[in-house]
Chains A and B, each alone.
Chain A
Amino acid sequence: GAVVSQHPSRVICKSGTSVKIECRSLDFQATTMFWYRQFPKQSLMLMATSNEGSKATYEQGVEKDKFLINHASLTLSTLTVTSAHPEDSSFYICSALGPAEAFFGQGTRLTVV
């Protein structure tokens, strides 16, 4: 099946720094990508919808200035967590919309210390 690569899989950063997470669709072009976040023992919650060549659409309660999303090409979307704080520690996962279904990356475990 189609492959979506997400990098890095784990990252530890200091409070106040920024972290970039990449999501690549390796064998198909994805006009639309989704970014989800999962807190421990909670559901994956949609953060934003990323559309190639246009601004991302953020879900209610998600700070667009804190979670910067760039979808500059049909195979790459990036999520940058700016000025990270310990409460941003979470599991982030991307999804790329293929022709018939959505394909998911491996997820990124972010720990802010």
Chain B
Amino acid sequence: GDSVTQMEGPVTLSEEAFLTINCTYTATGYPSLFWYVQYPGEGLQLLLKATKADDKGSNKGFEATYRKETTSFHLEKGSVQVSDSAVYFCALSRNSGNTPLVFGKGTRLSVIA
């Protein structure tokens, strides 16, 4: 069945450091790919998404590119801030988001000043 694998956390970075959180997936066909973020005490929020190969999703300085050849959707940010501290979930969906999501385990990011 479909699955998502993302790098284990926790990840601790200094402010302004470069961030990469790896995510790979297993699915038949062409799923849509998502990154969700969960700030402390809040629900999951959609951070960015991509619906077809080579699409790049971007938001709030975060980027991820849908790589069909490597079945990957790695999350990157050039310069993290303390306010980026949260748990990040990679996910896929068979359609554009109107079907249940398959999630990775989540990666906790802590950014220190």
Contacts and interface: CB of A to CB of B under 8 A. Distances in A.
**Are the chains A and B members of one assembly?**
yes
Contacts of A41: 105
Contact of A106 (B43, B103, B105): B43
A104 B37 CA distance: 11
A41 B103 CA distance: 12
Tell me the interface secondary structure of chain A in the complex: strand
Given A42-B105, A44-B89, A34 B43 contact: no
Interface residues of A, number: 25
Interface of B is mostly: loop
B69 interface: no
Contact of B44 (A42, A43, A104): A104
Interface stretch (A70-78, A80-88, A95-103): A95-103
Contacts of B102: 43, 46
A104 B104 contact: no
Given A6-B43, A106-B41, A43 B104 contact: yes
B100 A106 contact: no
B100 A49 contact: yes
Interface of A: 1, 4, 6, 9, 32, 34, 36, 41-46, 49, 93, 95, 97, 100-107
